[in-house]
Structure 1
Amino acid sequence: MGWLSTNGPLVVWLVVLSFVFLECAFVVGLFLPGDSLLFTAGLVLAQQGTHDVQAWSLSIVATIVAVVGNQLGYVLGRRAGSSLTGRLGGRMLSVERLAKARDFLDRRGFWAIVLARWIPWIRTLAPLIAGAAAMDSRRYMTATATGAVLWVPTLVLLGYYGAGVLEQFPWLLTTVMVVGIVFFVAGTAWGIWRYRQEMRKPAQLVSATAD
């Protein structure tokens, strides 16, 4: 945060938009701090004394970038198709598991994509898997846009408008960070657990549930 605050709003914009795009579009995004970066960007903009328009503009543009990034990830997954199973590892996404993922997306795909925005790692892999599983493109686009609108502005504006409160009560920053870490670790664990539960279901049970 100190490095961002000393380089001006332009650098904040470049870093945020680049990281959001990479995290939403490519596997390399697994290692990028999307949630904490968005929140920190809001804090930095507030500390720099920028106008509210800066925070809202960054929220809107970053939301669009997040949608475009996820759409690119979907297209890459769609084109890779079944070959994605080998690239992500047979144990993680075998041909059988890809078929189960397709059934799962048919049943709960909309909310799965929306909620994936809030779960690190899963929000990066979800577009690739949705594309490889041939999830309906319109349904996917609606879901990923909804998720982006709920994800990006919430974190950026929470950091921006909460900066004043955090300055008055410094201990709140530590509390927010701890709660954030717990939330995202728990969310990741829950997402992995749900994935494993779905993948353990027999194929015929998944199909029957879908019906």
Structure 2
Amino acid sequence: MKFFSLLFDLLRHLGEDAKWEAMITYIGTTNLYVVLFAIVFAETGLVVTPFLPGDSLLFALGAIGTRDVGINLPLITTLLIIAAIIGDAVNYWIGFKLGPKVFSRDEGPGAKKGVMDKLLNKKHLLRAQEFYEKYGGKTIILARFVPVVRTFAPFVAGVGKMNYLKFAMYNVVGAIAWVSICVGAGVLFGSTPFVKKNFELVIVGIVVISVLPMAIEFIRAKRAAKSGGSAVVEVATIGKSEETAIK
């Protein structure tokens, strides 16, 4: 229980050296790396954990890594890039295998809906497909910088049967760019007096900026629907035919 208490406390106060030092003292540096690896993997690889910290955690690592708390920044950065790559790959295959079954279920008034049905709304999938149609494969890279979307993007790519080699290329590029930019930003700005004094506020700002593109797209979709357009294009045979595959 103490571990979870320390972890929860750390995630709530990412900018405080004392929280990192307390965790390292309790579980050791190597185990801390394992925990951070697991968090990034789950945030990108499991569609049920989009609430885990991503951008804010990476930024905080960059800032903390420049201080004397016992973290090897180049090593943890490399490990988290690998975690992000593996996470998206696992998420893709979950979507490839499970997605079509989930979204082909009966959605009528009397249909029973399980937990997965509630978490994976078909309308969200269709909107994500439109996003893919608009931006193509580079969605995998762009989604890395948008909370929640980065968790669902690889799943949708798997459901749509996107060519895996193409997906893997975007996956690697996106993971390297995301982790490097966020950690690098922490290194550059994390030690400045303003950021150190207002770290929690800066973290909130990072989250707001990350979510902003998704909010804009949502507003545009609502306006399009009100003006008589369609924010969602129904695909009747999703996940069943190569004609609906995301290339």
Same fold (TM over 0.5): yes
TM-align CA RMSD: 3.3
Native 8 Å contact 2:130 2:233 kept in 1 = no
In 2, distance between residues paired with 1:5 and 1:90?
Answer: 36
One-letter amino acid matched to 1:177: I
How has the CA–CA distance of structure 1 residues 46 and 104 changed in structure 2, closer, same or farther, with 3 Å as cutoff?
closer
Match of 2:62 in 1: 42
Native 8 Å contact 1:101 1:133 kept in 2 = no
How many residue pairs match? The answer is 201
One-letter amino acid matched to 1:71: A
CA deviations over 1:42-69 (Å, ceiling 9, x no partner): 2222222557xx2122111111110111
How much identity, in percent, do the aligned residues show?
25
Give the drift of 1:88.
Answer: 4.2
Question: Out of 144, 154, 160, which is 1:117 matched to?
Answer: 144
In 2, distance between residues paired with 1:21 and 1:190?
Answer: 27
1:6 is paired with a residue whose SS is helix
Match of 2:199 in 1: 173
In 1, distance between residues paired with 2:128 and 2:51?
Answer: 23
How has the CA–CA distance of structure 1 residues 66 and 128 changed in structure 2, closer, same or farther, with 3 Å as cutoff?
same
Question: Out of 155, 160, 177, which is 1:150 matched to?
Answer: 177
Match of 2:191 in 1: 164
Which of the two has higher C-alpha Rg? 2
In 1, distance between residues paired with 2:230 and 2:68?
Answer: 48
The two structures have a TM-score, normalised by structure 2, of 0.67
Mind listing any 5+ residue stretches in structure 2 that lack a counterpart?
1-13, 106-115, 236-242
Q: Which has the higher helix share?
A: 1
In 2, distance between residues paired with 1:91 and 1:30?
Answer: 12
Give the drift of 1:202.
Answer: 4.6
Mind listing any 5+ residue stretches in structure 1 that lack a counterpart?
none
How has the CA–CA distance of structure 1 residues 84 and 192 changed in structure 2, closer, same or farther, with 3 Å as cutoff?
farther
Match of 1:128 in 2: 155
Q: How does 1:11-160 map to 2 (within 5 A)?
A: 11-50=31-70, 54-85=72-103, 87-89=116-118, 92-93=121-122, 102=129, 105=132, 108-160=135-187
Question: Out of 231, 239, 245, which is 1:200 matched to?
Answer: 231
Native 8 Å contact 2:99 2:159 kept in 1 = yes
1:27 is paired with a residue whose SS is coil
Native 8 Å contact 1:5 1:44 kept in 2 = no
Native 8 Å contact 1:119 1:191 kept in 2 = no
How has the CA–CA distance of structure 1 residues 170 and 21 changed in structure 2, closer, same or farther, with 3 Å as cutoff?
closer
How has the CA–CA distance of structure 1 residues 46 and 98 changed in structure 2, closer, same or farther, with 3 Å as cutoff?
closer
Give the drift of 1:170.
Answer: 3.9
Give the drift of 1:106.
Answer: 5.3
